[in-house]
A = this chain, B = another copy of it.
Amino acid sequence: MEIAFLEAEQAAAGGEVPVGAVIADSSGAVISRAGNRVLTLKDPTAHAEMLAIRDAARILGSERLIGCDLYVTLEPCAMCAQAISFARIRRLYYGAEDIKGGGVRYGARVFSHATCHHKPDIYAGFSEQRASRLLKDFFKSRR
C-alpha cells in the first residue's frame, strides 16, 4: 500500500486526481504499479487500477491475473471494479471510501449483483485518513 501512496502522490504532482494502485502476486512481489493518468494520457479509462491491471496482464501474458492482489488508495469506481472482476483479482485492498465516485460499497456496487462472476475478497479502510487527506488537499489546492 505504501507504493500505491507513492503513485498517488506522483499523480497529484502531475495535476491528476491522486489515486495510486499496485498489483502483487500471491507471494507479495509487485508486478505493476500506476498512478491515475486520465489527463496526462487524455484517456478517460486511465485510472490507476486500469493501468496497473493492463500492465500486469501484459507482463504475465494472460487476461486473468489469478492469485494476484490489488492495492489502491481509493475505493474503485464501477469501471475499475468490473475490470477487477474480469481480471479475477484475488484480494482487493483499498484506502478511503469514495461516497461520490465509488462503485464497490457505494454507487453501482458492482460486486454485489448476482450476475457478477467473480468477486475478490475485499479489505477496506487501509490508511484511510492518509488517503482521504491526500484527496482533500488536492481538491483544496485546485479551488
- Interface residue range, chain A: 35 or more
Question: A86-123 interface mask toward B, CB cutoff 8 Å, 1 = contact, 0 = none?
Answer: 11000000000001111100111110010110000000
Question: A67-102 interface mask toward B, CB cutoff 8 Å, 1 = contact, 0 = none?
Answer: 000000000011111110011000000000001111
Q: Are B43 and A54 touching (Cβ within 8 A)?
A: yes
Each complex incorporates copies of this chain amounting to 2
Please name the residue on chain B nearest to A89 by beta carbon.
B44
A42 at the interface (CB under 8 A from B): yes
Interface residues of A in 38-80 (CB under 8 A from B): 38-39, 41-46, 50, 53-54, 57-58, 61-65, 77-80
Which residues in A have some Cβ–Cβ distance to B below 8 Å? Answer: 38-39, 41-46, 50, 53-54, 57-58, 61-65, 77-83, 86-87, 99-103, 106-110, 113, 115-116
